[in-house]
Amino acid sequence: MATTADGTPGEGENRGPSVGLAEHQPLSPPTEMPKPRVLAAFAFAQFALFVALLGPPTVSIAIKLTAVVGSDNAPQAAGLVLGVGAIAALVAGPIFGYLSDRTTGPWGRRRPWMIGGSIGLALCLLVMAVSDSVPVLVVSWFVAQLVANAALAAYLATIADQIPVHRHASISALVNVMQQAGILVAVYAVSFLSSNIVAIFMVPAAIGVVGMVVYSLVLPDKPLLERPPSRGAREWLSLIWVDPRKHPDFAWAFLSRFLFFIGLFLFTSFRLFWMQDRIGLDTDTAASVVATGVLIYTVILMITGQIAGVVSDRIKRRKPLVFISVAMSALGFGMLAGVTTVTGFYVVEAILGIAYGIYFGADLALVIEVLPDPENIAKDLGIFNIANAAPQSLAPLFGAGLLAIGSGGQNYTLLYIVSAVVALLGAVAILPVKKVR
């Protein structure tokens, strides 16, 4: 299928309607990089979406719940809100990825889901901003995760749609640098606006909508002339299952990401509460310290992530970088068990920044190269996103249980020792991957 650089039909392309075509014609993989304005909008969209999506669980929801149920009950309430909400991402990624892969029409496959999902997220955050009911917060965050992951599934699929394979690691690094920059801006925005509950939800929400709309407007999103042929019940089963016997590399990469993210979310879900309990900071000071820690983490991540992406593409190696980075993260999580000062927290954030930068300079590129089906990229990335989303659900619930073990207050020592062990297992799990070096 021939197209011009801006995605319009090229010479010799079938311009007629898709109905009645005798044979499904998959879209051709990209061979050239997209225009600079598309890359700039791509980077901004990732930044903007994660300002909106990860600002709330990083700080905003903790502040909201402290105001609603009090500081003593807020950690357990946060575990409920974040845990139940993240279940939506388990459903949203594969289902909306599948629908995006099969979307026909002049708007393209990805554009409708990116715009619709970001607007839906903003509406859910508005409900959370004005509600003082824990059940309403639970339902609102569940729906927010559902629609946000619809946008994210379509967005991530544009990497495979638009970027040649030999540049995947560099672009993956850019994606994750912008993601962390988005989290940083969200944390600082919340710290600055912490006295205004509506603003700490709606300012990030507005940024998220703008970013997705801008990217959608410049994206050369090739229309799908016809839907891929359906395989019936087997196809619906494939929305939640990839046979590890047929695709072992995908399974090992999935397990590695899952374990790493369990360790990560055991840390981030309770970071603000740990500040208050272990270091003795009030809510506003804790939010400020978290913001500074995320700043240190993000600056280091931006440098190491770009370097790791370029190095990975040049040496054509992914696995060693993923292993080193996850093992280094495990070290950082373990160190938190003995940290009792703000300075110690900043040191750990610096170590995690190095580790996370290296990780996402190589891991997403590795994942794209082990996807099972080139015609269902968004769907398979959606399935893989379960390795991100399930830990968001399980880690807060698991962590709340770990904190309750023993007597004499919240057991943060046990929490971070467990997070370190789980992450280390994630490093080991990447080693059996064979397709990617």
Please give the full DSSP string across 77-111, using - where no structure is assigned: HHHHHHHHHHHHHHHHHHHHHHHHHT--STT-SSH
Contact assessment for residue 178 and residue 46, using Cβ atoms and an 8 Å cutoff: yes
Identify which of 18-22, 168-172, 257-261, 371-375 has the greatest average pLDDT: 257-261
The answer on pLDDT for 21 being more than 70 is no
Name which of 421, 390, 419 is nearest 402 in CA terms.
Answer: 419
Q: Is residue 435 part of a domain?
A: no
* Interval 355-404: pLDDT, tens: 988 887 787 778 888 888 776 777 787 788 788 777 877 888 889 889 88
Q: Name the average pLDDT for the chain.
A: 82
pLDDT of res. 259: 95
Does pLDDT of 160 surpass 90? Answer: no
The confidence score (pLDDT) of residue 185 equals 83
Give the single-character DSSP code of 33: P
Residue with tokens 């009090």: 70
Q: What is the pLDDT of residue 360?
A: 77
More confident site: 60 or 392: 60
Is 24 part of a structural domain of the chain?
Answer: no
Mean pLDDT of 326-348: 92
Q: Does 1 map to a domain?
A: no
In this prediction, residue 329 carries a pLDDT of: 94
Indicate which CATH number applies to the domain containing 362: 1.20.1250.20
Question: Which pLDDT tens digit goes with each residue over 266-316?
Answer: 988 888 888 888 888 887 888 888 888 888 988 898 888 888 888 887 887
CA distances to 71, 339, 416 from 413, in Å: 20, 9, 6
Quick one: pLDDT band at residue 418, thresholds 50, 70, 90? very high
Give the chain's largest Cα–Cα span.
74
Average pLDDT over residues 152-174: 80
Would you state the pLDDT for residue 27? 58
Residue 252 in any domain: the answer is: yes
Sole residue written with tokens 């965050």:
141
Sign of the Cα torsion 296, 297, 300, 306 reads negative
Q: Are 375 and 261 in contact (CB under 8 A)?
A: no
For 384-426, give the DSSP string: HTHHHHHHHHHHHHHHHHHHTSSSSS--HHHHHHHHHHHHHHH
Report the range of poorest mean pLDDT among 194-198, 405-409, 416-420: 405-409
With bands split at pLDDT 50, 70 and 90, how would you rate the model's confidence at 77? confident
Residue 2 within a domain: no
In a domain, 130, yes or no: yes
Look up residue 106 and give its amino acid: P
3-state helix, strand, coil in the chain (%, to 5): 75, 0, 25
In a domain, 133, yes or no: yes
Instruction: Return the pLDDT at 2.
Output: 35
Domain, as residue range, for 131: 36-218+241-429
User: Tell me, what's the pLDDT at 239?
Assistant: 63
In a domain, 94, yes or no: yes
The total of structural domains in the chain comes to: 1
